[in-house]
């Protein structure tokens, strides 16, 4: 061997150092233990001293070798209490449990649009697997004040009673509250349907509902053409309490993906705007009951109405995730519509008062109004939007400014009028005007009105064009007026959408509405007017007869 073939020790050391520097292997530490007790979707594991609150735990079933995941909840001195997800019945006493070192996350992405998933992000609609490349934690810290901007854009529901008096803005949290079967879900579904031609992605979270009800909602959204921009997260009544507990957080996590990322799935910034999302939590009362069941099974101390002490914190950290991000962060938004069911209209119960204090306003649905045929049954007395006119078009803010006061005055006069028959002309006018305004606010399911048509209808009512129309024809007048303006005056409708109503627009509106009203009354003459004509003729005949009689006597 020649001298040139010899390898020096320095070269060997250099080659070894080069190879070693490229090794990036790390030691993965996991603590393992065994399940000591399991039941009702709750597992108790001995030891696990390094487990963290909210950490994902991996259980291995001795029966079939499959993995089941759980969430660490109670961190006691000698054991950890965890809630189980998935095939919970396969986990038995003595099965192995390991820490994972990560929080619970779920798959998210555009591929979920049009699908029905469970709170773990797994498809349950029988349409095959969902191909997603992103994951998000179900619990995520809400953005701070500096990362947000004030709510300034409206989310149009298509329902005049809401868009005019309790407007919802992008990034707002507006509570829908009322007794069972008063139309809470109907308002939420109508709002989703009304987003068909907008850039808002919708997420409907069904908590503790029958699977048949969820299937019916899916079919409705498909028929209305909005399913392809909607994701349904379903934790049905047949699912365990832990699944119902995480369902709203899973819905928020899926929504945050669209808010924090642009259309291509890249992080949003000033040049890449984030998306706009509407999330409906239907309903948080059932989530609270599921959390109470979980907590009592975990032997946590019960508080008011047997709910755990941190139930307020559970809902507040969920709803705080709804926001309107600053332009620097992409300007995306997450709008939350939580639903709460009351018992006999009791809004002073524990969960209703909690969520009312967390949200930016509430739409209160009253049973009495519902049974009287006022649909949507919005009680304008205690319904409020704390964002208000900032989430309205200028023209809507202008015409709807005194609408709430007008209706409140009508309610007061209506109650007073029951006790007296002699009413002065002003009171009679207010009662008649108020009755027509209430009739104007009635809308059928899936009969959304464009915001410009809402403005025109309210303008017509404020200018007393409706007061001499038969009550049963008011909604027909409103709908046909909208059609008339769409067909004959589309330019004026667009002006109303973009600008405040000035004197010129006001005069043009009055002229067009007056012309339409003349045509409408020809096709639908007032019964009151016919009766008045008949009565006048009868009175004239009677007067003539009396005159002839008196003349004959003379």
Q: Give the per-residue pLDDT at 25.
A: 65
d(C-alpha 260, C-alpha 334), whole Å: 10
Q: Which residues is 70 bridged to in the sheet?
A: 57, 84
Cβ atoms within 10 Å of 544's Cβ, excluding its own: 10
Q: Give the per-residue pLDDT at 534.
A: 44
Q: Which residues contact 233 (CB under 8 A, 6 or more apart)?
A: 117, 118, 119, 203, 204, 205, 206, 247, 250, 251, 254
State the residue for tokens 């909607």.
Answer: 230
Is-contact 177 378, C-beta < 8 A? no
Lookup: tokens for 54: 């909210």
Vertex 35 angle, CA 29 and 36, to 5°: 135
Please state whether the peptide bond connecting residue 121 to the residue before it is cis, i.e. omega within 30 degrees of 0: no
Cβ atoms within 10 Å of 531's Cβ, excluding its own: 10
d(C-alpha 203, C-alpha 211), whole Å: 17
Q: DSSP letters along 141-158, please?
A: PPP-GGGB----SB---S
CA torsion sign for 245, 248, 251, 255 is negative
Among 335, 399, 401, residue whose Cα is nearest residue 156: 335
Burial pattern 115-129, b for ≥16 Cβ within 10 A else e, equals bbbbbbbeebeeeee
Lookup: tokens for 371: 């049974």
Q: DSSP letters along 133-195, please?
A: -EEEESS-PPP-GGGB----SB---S-HHHHHHS--BTT-B-EEEESTTSSHHHHHHHHHHTT
Q: Give the per-residue pLDDT at 551.
A: 40
What backbone phi and psi angles, to 5 degrees, belong to 385?
-120, 120
Is-contact 479 487, C-beta < 8 A? no
Lookup: tokens for 530: 């016919």
Residue tagged active-site, from 98, 300, 386, 411: 386
**From the centroid of its chain, how far is CA 271?**
29
Burial pattern 40-74, b for ≥16 Cβ within 10 A else e, equals bbbbbbeebeebeeebbbebbbeeeeeebebbbbb
Cβ atoms within 10 Å of 290's Cβ, excluding its own: 23
- Per 3-state DSSP, the chain is made up of helix, strand and coil in percentages (nearest 5) of 45, 20, 35
Provide block-wise average pLDDT over 10 residues at a time, the chain (554 residues). Answer: 62 84 70 91 91 92 90 93 90 93 93 96 94 94 95 94 95 96 96 96 97 96 96 95 96 97 92 96 96 94 94 96 96 97 94 96 94 92 88 91 86 75 80 92 94 96 92 95 94 92 94 95 76 44 47 42
Q: Give the per-residue pLDDT at 533.
A: 39
Based on its alpha-carbon atoms, the radius of gyration of the chain, rounded to whole angstroms, reads 31
Q: Is position 386 annotated as part of the catalytic site?
A: yes
d(C-alpha 286, C-alpha 8), whole Å: 75
What backbone phi and psi angles, to 5 degrees, belong to 80?
-120, 135
Rounded (10°) CA dihedral 473, 168, 154, 312:
-160
Vertex 319 angle, CA 314 and 320, to 5°: 100
């Amino acid at each position: 061997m020649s001298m040139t073939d010899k390898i020096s020790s320095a070269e060997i050391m250099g080659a070894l150092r080069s190879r070693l520097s490229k090794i990036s292997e790390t030691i993965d530490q996991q603590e393992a233990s065994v399940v000591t007790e399991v039941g009702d979707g709750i597992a108790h594991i001995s030891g696990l001293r390094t487990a963290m609150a909210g950490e994902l735990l991996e259980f291995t079933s001795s029966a079939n070798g499959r993995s089941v995941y759980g969430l660490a909840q109670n961190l006691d001195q000698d054991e950890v209490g965890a809630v189980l997800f998935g095939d919970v019945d396969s986990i038995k006493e003595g099965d192995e449990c390991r820490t994972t070192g990560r929080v619970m996350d779920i798959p998210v992405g555009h591929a979920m649009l049009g699908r029905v998933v469970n709170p773990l992000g797994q498809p349950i609609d029988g349409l095959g697997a969902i191909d997603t490349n992103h994951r998000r934690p179900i619990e995520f810290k809400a953005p701070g004040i500096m990362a947000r901007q004030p709510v300034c854009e409206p989310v149009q529901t298509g329902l005049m009673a809401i868009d005019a008096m309790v407007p919802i803005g992008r990034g707002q949290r507006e509570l829908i509250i009322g007794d069972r079967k008063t139309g809470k879900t109907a308002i939420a579904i109508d709002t989703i349907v009304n987003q068909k031609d907008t850039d808002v992605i919708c997420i409907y979270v069904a908590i503790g509902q029958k699977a048949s009800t969820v299937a019916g909602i899916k079919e409705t959204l498909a028929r209305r053409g909005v399913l392809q921009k909607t994701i349904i997260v379903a934790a049905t009544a047949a699912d365990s309490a832990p699944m119902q507990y995480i369902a709203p957080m899973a819905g928020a996590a899926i929504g945050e993906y669209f808010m924090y990322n642009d259309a291509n799935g890249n992080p949003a910034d000033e040049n890449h705007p984030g998306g706009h999302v509407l999330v409906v939590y239907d309903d948080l009362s059932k989530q609270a009951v599921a959390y109470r069941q979980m907590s009592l099974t975990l032997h946590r101390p019960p508080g008011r109405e047997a709910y755990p002490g941190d139930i307020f914190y559970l809902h507040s950290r969920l709803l705080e995730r709804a926001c309107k991000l600053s332009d620097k962060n992409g300007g995306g938004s997450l709008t939350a519509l939580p639903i709460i069911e009351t018992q006999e209209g009791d809004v002073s119960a524990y969960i209703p008062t909690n969520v009312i204090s967390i949200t930016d306003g509430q739409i209160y649905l009253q049973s009495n109004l519902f049974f009287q045929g006022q649909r949507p049954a919005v009680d304008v007395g205690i319904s409020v939007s704390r964002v208000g006119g900032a989430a309205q078009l200028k023209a809507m803010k202008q015409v709807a400014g005194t609408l709430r006061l007008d209706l409140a005055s009508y309610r007061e006069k209506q109650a007073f009028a029951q006790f007296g028959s002699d009413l002065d002309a002003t009171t009679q006018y207010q009662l008649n005007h108020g009755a027509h305004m209430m009739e104007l606010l009635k809308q059928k399911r899936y009969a959304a009105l464009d915001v410009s048509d809402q403005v025109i209808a309210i303008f017509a009512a404020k200018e007393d064009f409706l007061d001499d129309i038969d009550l049963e024809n008011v909604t027909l007048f409103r709908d046909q007026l909208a059609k008339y303006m769409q067909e004959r005056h589309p330019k004026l409708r667009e002006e109303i959408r973009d600008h405040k109503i000035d004197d010129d627009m006001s005069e043009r509106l009055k002229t067009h509405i007056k012309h339409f009203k003349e045509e409408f009354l020809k096709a639908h003459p007032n019964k009151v007017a016919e009766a008045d004509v008949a009565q006048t003729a009868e009175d004239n005949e009677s007067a003539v007869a009396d005159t002839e009689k008196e003349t004959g006597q003379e």
